[in-house]
Amino acid sequence: MNRGKLMEIGLNKVNRNLHPINSTINIGENSIGSNNITIIAGPCSVESEEQIVNIAERVKASGATFLRGGVFKPRTSPYSFQGLGENGLELLKIAKEKTGLPIVTELMSLEYLDMFLEDVDVIQIGARNMQNYPLLKEVGKIKKPVLLKRGMSATIEEFLMAAEYIMLEGNENVILCERGIRTFERYTRNTLDLSAVPILKKLSHLPVIVDPSHGTGLWWLVEPLSKAAIAVGADGLIIEVHNDPLNARCDGEQSITTGRFQKLMESLKLIAKVENKIL
Amino acid sequence: MNRGKLMEIGLNKVNRNLHPINSTINIGENSIGSNNITIIAGPCSVESEEQIVNIAERVKASGATFLRGGVFKPRTSPYSFQGLGENGLELLKIAKEKTGLPIVTELMSLEYLDMFLEDVDVIQIGARNMQNYPLLKEVGKIKKPVLLKRGMSATIEEFLMAAEYIMLEGNENVILCERGIRTFERYTRNTLDLSAVPILKKLSHLPVIVDPSHGTGLWWLVEPLSKAAIAVGADGLIIEVHNDPLNARCDGEQSITTGRFQKLMESLKLIAKVENKIL
Amino acid sequence: MNRGKLMEIGLNKVNRNLHPINSTINIGENSIGSNNITIIAGPCSVESEEQIVNIAERVKASGATFLRGGVFKPRTSPYSFQGLGENGLELLKIAKEKTGLPIVTELMSLEYLDMFLEDVDVIQIGARNMQNYPLLKEVGKIKKPVLLKRGMSATIEEFLMAAEYIMLEGNENVILCERGIRTFERYTRNTLDLSAVPILKKLSHLPVIVDPSHGTGLWWLVEPLSKAAIAVGADGLIIEVHNDPLNARCDGEQSITTGRFQKLMESLKLIAKVENKIL
Amino acid sequence: MNRGKLMEIGLNKVNRNLHPINSTINIGENSIGSNNITIIAGPCSVESEEQIVNIAERVKASGATFLRGGVFKPRTSPYSFQGLGENGLELLKIAKEKTGLPIVTELMSLEYLDMFLEDVDVIQIGARNMQNYPLLKEVGKIKKPVLLKRGMSATIEEFLMAAEYIMLEGNENVILCERGIRTFERYTRNTLDLSAVPILKKLSHLPVIVDPSHGTGLWWLVEPLSKAAIAVGADGLIIEVHNDPLNARCDGEQSITTGRFQKLMESLKLIAKVENKIL
C-alpha cells in the first residue's frame, strides 16, 4: 500500500521538509498564504465593461481581495464562447483601475505571456494545462505569481510535480488550487477533494486555495463548501460571482449572485475567526 | 447534462419535497438530526474488555454520545481478522453498562438480526452491503435505527435509493453516512465527498453524518476533515478512536488516540457554535 | 508503484503459482475453462413461460451452452421490477427441460440456497454482492459451481480475494466474470476492462468469462466486445438475449435479439478458431 | 440517463452522420483507416542512433508500417529524462532514411511546429495535451496528419470535441487513439477502454487506433490486448518496442522486445484475416 506516501522521488522545491516555513506571496497589500484569507471573486468570463466593473465593485464592497475573470477560455467545444481575448483584458484593467483589485486570469498560450506580465497580477494555469510542461517552464522563468489548478484527474503527487516544474525554473511564487476531481458521481460537475488541502499543506510549503464553483458545478453548493474549505485549512477561495447568473455566457449554474456573495462573506468571517484567520 | 438532477424517478419516502421537515431520530437522551451534533466514537474492532471499556470511558469523557466498535468485520481478505463476533457484542454491552453510551455496530448477516435487535442501539449497514437488498428489506421491517453507509462507488442517487428500500418497508429511522468514495487518487484510502452532505440534506429529510476515518484512511486527516464536515452541515461524525493505534488489530493508521480525540472535540465545539449547533 | 503487483498477501486457493494448471468445471457435457468456449445466453429477467422457452430454444439452436435468466433481481430502485422469484425459477426449469440447457441464475439471499442447490446448475453471485462475505462463505460450503461477478469498483485484487473467500470454505468450482467497472465515462453503462482477463488468468487458475451486455449497456456494442473478449483469452461469455428487447422488463437497451445472437455466434466461431478454441 | 447519447451539441466535422464514409489518411504507400491495419512501432524514447536504427530495422522486418519514438517527452517529474529533443529528431530521420518507415512523434510546443512540418510524417498530440486548445488550433491549420490521443480522463464526447477543434481549422487528417483511461484499478497503468473503438467509429468517420502499451503499462498484456483491439475493429495499433526493455530510459516495463513483436505480428495476422483486414 502506498497510502500516505508519495510514489516517485523528486519533490524538492515544493517540499516542506526542505522548507519548513509556510511560503507567503505578497501582491500589493495582500499576502497569500498568511493569516489573511484570500478571496478571489468574479465572473467565469468577462462579458462587457459594465458587467465586469459592476461585479468588481460589488465583490470588493463585500470584502474580496482579488478579481477573477476569464478572457481566454478553454472550452470543451470549439463552438462555445471562447472569451473576449485581448479586449477582455482591457476591460479587466478598467475594473482594476476603478476598484484597486488585482487581476487573476488564465493564460492558455505563451503567445500572450508578455501581455500578461504587464497587465495581470496572478497568472492562472488551468486544470487542462496542469501538465502542459512548456507552459509551466515558461511561467517558471518569470517572477509573477502563478495560480496552478489541479488537473481533472491529477493525483496529489502529479499536482506537486507540476508545481515543481515551475519552481525549478526559478519562480517560487506558486499558489496551489484544488478545484475538484473527476469521479463517477454525476450529480456534481466534479468531486471537490477537500482532503487535498491538509495533504498539500503537509507535503509542501505553498499556499493552497479552493475553487468551490468548479469543484461542485452548482451555485447552491458554493456556500457550504466554502465554509468547509476554510475549516479544513485553505488559505483562500476562488469563487465565481455574476450579477446575472441566468444570463451568464458561461458557467451560470455554478455562479452565485453578488448579493449571495455578500452573505457568504459574512458566514465565512465566523469560520475564519475560529481558525484564527483574518477575513 | 444531468448535473443537479436525479436520473431515475422513485424517491418517495426519503424525499424532502414530500417531507419538508428534518427527520430526527431519538435514542435515549440523544436526538440525531437535531441541533445537537452526534459524535460516534470507538475502535475499528472490539479487541478485549479492557480495550473497549477504556476507550468508551475516554471518549465519553471527551463528549462522545455513542460508542462504535466492530464485532463482525467485513474484510477484503479471508485471512484478515474477522472480528470477535458474538463475544465482541458482549464486550460492547459491558462498555455500554459502564458508560451509558449507546452502541453502534455493523450487521453483515440476517442470522444475527435478533441479537442486534436486543443488544444494539443503532444497526450499521456497511458500504459493501449498501446494495444488499435482502438485508436492507429486513432492517426495514424493524424500528431500530439504521446507519446506512454510502457504497464505495455509489452515486448520490443510488445511495438514496438504498435508503428508500429500508423506508419503504416501514422503518423511518435511517441515518445516512458519507464515508468516502473510490477514485483514482492513491494517497488517501478514499476521497471524502463532503459535497454529498448538503446534497443529501437538500434532497432528503434524513440525518447525514460523516466518517472522516474511512473517508481518508489517515489519522492526521481526521481532525481537519471533521471540522470541514461540521462546517458543511453534517449532523454528526463517526470516528475511529483507539487507545493504542500502532497495535490496533485493524485500521490503526486511520485511528486517532483518545488524547487526540479530546483535542478534536474542543476544536469541533468552536465550529459547531458558529453553525448554531450544540456539541 | 504497485503496477503489476498485488498489494496484500493472502492469495492461496486461487493462486496459479500454487496450482499451475487451468481449472475446468464440468457441468453435464460442458467443461468451463477448457478449450471449449462457454456461451451463456438468455434474458435479463424471466418474464413468462413463453418468453423464456422461446429464447432458450433460439439461443440453443444458435449454439449457446447455458441459459441465463434473472428471477431474483437486484434493482437500484425498490420500485423497479424485482423479478418473478420462485415462479421464475419454475419457468427456468421448464425451459431447461425443453432444451437441456443448464441454468445460470443469481442468488441474492441465503433463504433460497436450498432451492438453488436443487434447481440451478450455476449459482451467480452478482456484482453488488461480490463483498457480501456471509453469502460467499455459504456458497463456499457447497459444491455447486459459482459464477462470481466482479464488483462495480472492485480491484483485481479484491475480486480474487472474494473468490478466495469461497474456495477457502471448500468449493473449488468458481468461475470469474469481468462485467465492466465504474468510471467517469457516461456514454457506456460501465467500462469493460478486458485487460482483467489475461491478468486474472495469469494470477489464478480459474476460468474467466466476460459479460459484454452489462459491460457496455448498449446492445450494438455486444458483438465487437464479444469478439474482443474471445481474442483476449476469455473462456466464455454471458450475453443478454431477448426476443423483444424494446419491450423487455429490464435492460432492453443492452439486449440483443435472437436473430442477432445467431449472427454473433457465427462471427465468434471464426475468432475462436484462431485462438484454437472450440465453439 | 444519457447512456448512448452525447450530451452537448456541436459535432460537425467529425460527425459520421454528416460524412457517412470512412475517412482514410494516405501517407506514402500507407492508407490509415482503410482495409490495411496500420502498425506503428518503436521505443518510448529515442536514445541513440544505434538504438533507433536497430529497432526500426527489426520492426520493419516484422511488418510495422510506421516508426514511433519520443524526442520531446512529457514527463510527470521534471527530474525524469525529458527526451533528446532536436537531436532525437535527427536520429529519427536517419532511421527513416535507412528503413523507409514514416515517422510518428509527439509535438508538445508550437515552437517546434515548423521543424515537425518538415521532418515528421504524423504529428502526435499526447494525452496531456488533448485539451491544449492553442496547440490543437495550430495543428488544425496545417495538412500534416495528426494522431490525437485521448486524454487520461477524457470522455468520448470530449475526445471528439478535441478532434473537432483541429478539423474546424481545416485539417481533416485526424487519427484518434484510445490509450487507456484513469480508473481506480492500480494493477495496470490505465484501463484500456476497447469499447471506445466501436463507439468512435460509429459516431465519427475518422480512423481509430489503439495503444496497448500505455493502455496497460505491462509488456505481457500487449499481445492479448493488441489482438482484442483488432477484433473490436481498430484500424491499427501503436506499440512500444525496445531492443533492451530492462535498460530503456523510459517505460521499459511496458515495452516488448523486437523478438516478441515479431511473434505478435504473426498472431495479429490471423485475427486481421478474420476481420477481412490486411496486415
Q: Say whether residue A190 is in contact with chain D using an 8 A CB cutoff.
A: no
How many domains does chain B divide into?
1
Stretch D243-260: mean pLDDT: 93
Q: Kindly state the helix (H) or strand (E) to which residue D116 belongs, with its residue range.
A: helix D113-119
Q: Show which of residues 111-170 on chain B sit within 8 Å of chain D, judged by CB atoms.
A: 153
Q: Are D38 and D65 in contact (CB under 8 A)?
A: yes
pLDDT of residue C41: 98
Ordered DSSP codes for C153-222: T--HHHHHHHHHHHHHTT---EEEEE--B--S--SSSSB--TTHHHHHHHHB-S-EEE-HHHHHS-GGGH
Q: Which residues of D touch A161 (CB under 8 A)?
A: 76-78
Whether residue A264 is contained in a domain is answered as: yes
Phi-psi region of A233 (alpha: psi -120 to 50; beta: other; left: phi over 0): left
Q: What is the pLDDT of residue D4?
A: 82
Contact B109, C134 (CB under 8 A): yes
Residue A9 within a domain: no
| Mean pLDDT across B124-149 | 97
Residue length, chain C? 279
Select from B108, B128, B135, B166 the residue whose CB has the most chain C CBs within 10 Å, as the one to mutate to test that interface.
B128
Q: For residue B15, is it within any domain?
A: no
Per residue in D174-212, pLDDT tens? 999 999 999 999 999 999 999 999 999 999 999 999 999
Answer whether C132's CB lies under 8 Å from B133's CB: no
Kindly tell me if the per-residue pLDDT of D26 is higher than 90: yes
- Using CB atoms, pick whichever of D10, D77, D158 lies closest to residue A10: D77
Say if residue B8's pLDDT is above 60: no
- Tell whether C80 is within 8 A of chain B (Cβ): yes
pLDDT of residue C5: 79
State percent of chain C over pLDDT 70: 98
CA dist B176 and D107 (Å) reads 49
Q: Identify the pLDDT of residue B251.
A: 86
Q: Chain C residues with CB inside 8 Å of B134's CB? A: 108-109, 111
- Select the residue of D2, D7, D184 nearest B184 (Cβ to Cβ): D184
Average pLDDT of chain D is: 96
Q: Could you tell me if residue A5 is inside a domain?
A: no
Averaged pLDDT for residues D123-152: 98
Flag whether B231 is in a domain: yes
pLDDT greater than 80 at residue D10: no
Contact B231 A228 (CB under 8 A): yes
pLDDT of residue C10: 78
Closest partner CB to A225 (pick from B189, B194, B225):
B194
d(CA C64, CA C239): 10
Chain B contact present for D77, CB below 8 A? no
The reply to whether A7 falls in a domain is no
Q: Residue A7: pLDDT band by 50, 70, 90 thresholds? A: low
Residue type, A83: G
How much of chain D, in percent, has pLDDT values that exceed 70?
Answer: 98
Which residue range is the domain that position C225 belongs to? 25-274
Question: What is the rounded distance in angstroms from the CA atom of residue C132 to the CA atom of residue A101?
Answer: 57
Tell me, yes or no, whether D18 lies in a domain: no
Q: What pLDDT is attached to residue D1?
A: 46
CATH number of C196's domain: 3.20.20.70
pLDDT for res D59 = 98
Grid coordinates given for D65: 508500417
Question: Which residues does chain D have within 8 Å of residue A75's beta carbon, measured at their own beta carbons?
Answer: 133
Q: Does residue C9 register a pLDDT over 90?
A: no
Q: What is the DSSP string of A196-253?
A: HHHHHHHHB-S-EEE-HHHHHS-GGGHHHHHHHHHHHT-SEEEEEEES-GGG-SS-GG
Banded model confidence at residue C1, pLDDT cuts 50, 70, 90: very low
| Min Cα–Cα distance to chain D from C158, Å | 10
Tens digits of residue pLDDT in C78-131: 999 999 999 999 999 999 999 999 999 999 999 999 999 999 999 999 999 999
Complex ipTM, two decimals?
0.97
> Is D4's Cβ below 8 Å from some Cβ in C?
yes
Contact flag D155-C186 (C-beta cutoff 8 Å): yes
Closest-CA residue of C relative to B166 is C78
Q: What is the DSSP letter of C75?
A: -
B231 reaches A (C-beta below 8 A): yes
Q: How many CB atoms lie within 10 A of CB C29?
A: 9
**Chain B positions in Cβ-Cβ contact with residue A181 (cut-off 8 Å):** 183-185, 191
Q: Which of A242-246, B228-232, D148-152 has the lowest mean pLDDT?
A: A242-246
Give yes or no for residue A83 having a pLDDT over 50.
Answer: yes
How high is the pLDDT of residue B1?
Answer: 46
β-pair partners for B42: B240
Residue C271 with chain D: CB contacts under 8 Å = 231, 271, 274
Indicate if the pLDDT at residue B34 is higher than 80: yes
Residue C6 resides in a domain: no
Provide mean pLDDT across the span B3-14: 79
Task: Judge whether A184 is closer than 8 Å to chain C, CB to CB.
Answer: yes
Lowest mean pLDDT among A7-16, A176-185, C242-251, D119-128: A7-16
Q: How far is A71 from chain D (nearest CA, A)?
A: 14
pLDDT confidence of residue A272: 97
CA distance C231 to chain A (A): 29
Entry pTM:
0.97
The set of cell numbers assigned to C78 is: 425498490
Span A217-226, average pLDDT: 98
Alpha-carbon dihedral sign for residues B45, B51, B56, B61 = negative
Would you list the DSSP string of D139-194?
HHSS-S-EEEEPPTT--HHHHHHHHHHHHHTT---EEEEE--B--S--SSSSB--T
pLDDT of residue A8: 56
Residues on chain D touching B1 (C-beta within 8 angstroms): 7-8
